[in-house]
Structure 1
Amino acid sequence: MSSRRDYYRDPRAPKANSLVPGGSMLVVDDGGRILMQRRGDSGNWSLPGGVMEIGETLEECAVRETKEETGLDTEITGLLGIYTDPAHVIEYSDGEVRQEFAVTYLGRVLGGELAVSSESTEVRFLGMDELADLPMHPTVRLRLAHFAEQRPEPYLG
């Protein structure tokens, strides 16, 4: 796994040379807590998700990545938003500089067992009040804010 560095609204950010669709899920349990993972590469808390593979839909990608990263079987219940901000780029050690292209779905748990993956150090359901002081990328905070607003329509941006 190559190392990565996120840039967000940073004038020193390298120019993007890649665009890869990714899907993530904001999964809520019966108590209103949100499924979060602590990334092994940055230590930041994040929603489960990853990049789309050839032969699958973006929805299948989000469900697969959530299973791989958390151990839980989920289903999509809605769309939180489409996030394609060119001011958010991710630089990888192999020279790839990827512009953000992520679709975040809403979801719920169908089954499975909560488990840490090779990409994370912790996986937990957390209440909105618990998330305020945790380390996380500003774009993840944006998604959480959009969820908290209970928007009638998905975010498009």
Structure 2
Amino acid sequence: MQKWYGSSAICINKHGELLMVLQGKPDENKLWATPSGGKERGETFEECCVREVREETGYIVEIEDKIYVKQNEFVEVHYFFAKVVGGSRNFQDPDQLIYDIAWKSIEELKSLELSFPEDRPYLINILRNLRDNGVELDET
């Protein structure tokens, strides 16, 4: 089995909420995840992240920092802090797998059904640290 490479965006608005998408194939249970997807040939992980956010949510983002790489023998996903700099909430996923786009709070994140439940503690910790350290967040 060939290893899958992709990127995921951590976008947080001025209310300390995380940008998430509800996704799944038509016959599957729909689950929440940060905007993410597979890296295309010739694309950097940063370019992949920006493209996936635009495709899945309609928002235009700039990469601020690489924060984490999750990998095992099957996948390698690069997580980036990304700042929304334009666009607007818009379903335009070419794969037609996105069913909702929403900003989710720490409390909501605790109970959401996630595509990648192993990410929950990490995502909650990011939101908590930003809130507790008074980091200036996106105007979105």
Q: TM-score range with shorter-chain normalisation? A: 0.7 to 0.9
Shift of the 146–19 alpha-carbon distance from structure 1 to 2, 3 Å rule, reads farther
Any conservation in 1 of the 2:62–2:84 contact (CA below 8 Å)? yes
Instruction: Pick the structure with more helix per residue.
Output: 2
Please, which of 94, 99, 104 is the counterpart of residue 121 of structure 1?
99
Which runs of 5 or more structure 1 residues have no equivalent in the other structure? 1-16, 87-98, 152-157
| Cα distance in structure 2, aligned partners of 1:71 and 1:49 | 13
| Cα distance in structure 1, aligned partners of 2:57 and 2:11 | 11
Show the 5 A alignment for 1:17-28.
17-28=1-12
Q: Tell me how many residue pairs correspond in the alignment.
A: 123
Q: Normalised by the size of structure 2, how large is the TM-score?
A: 0.80
Please, which of 17, 22, 36 is the counterpart of residue 49 of structure 1?
36
Aligned-CA RMSD value: 1.8
Partner of 1:40: 24
Q: What secondary structure does 1:107 align onto? A: strand
Which runs of 5 or more structure 2 residues have no equivalent in the other structure? 131-140
Partner of 1:69: 56
Larger radius of gyration: 1
Q: What secondary structure does 1:109 align onto? A: strand
After superposing on structure 2, the runs of 4+ consecutive aligned residues of structure 1 that deviate more than 3 Å are 148-151
Shift of the 102–142 alpha-carbon distance from structure 1 to 2, 3 Å rule, reads farther
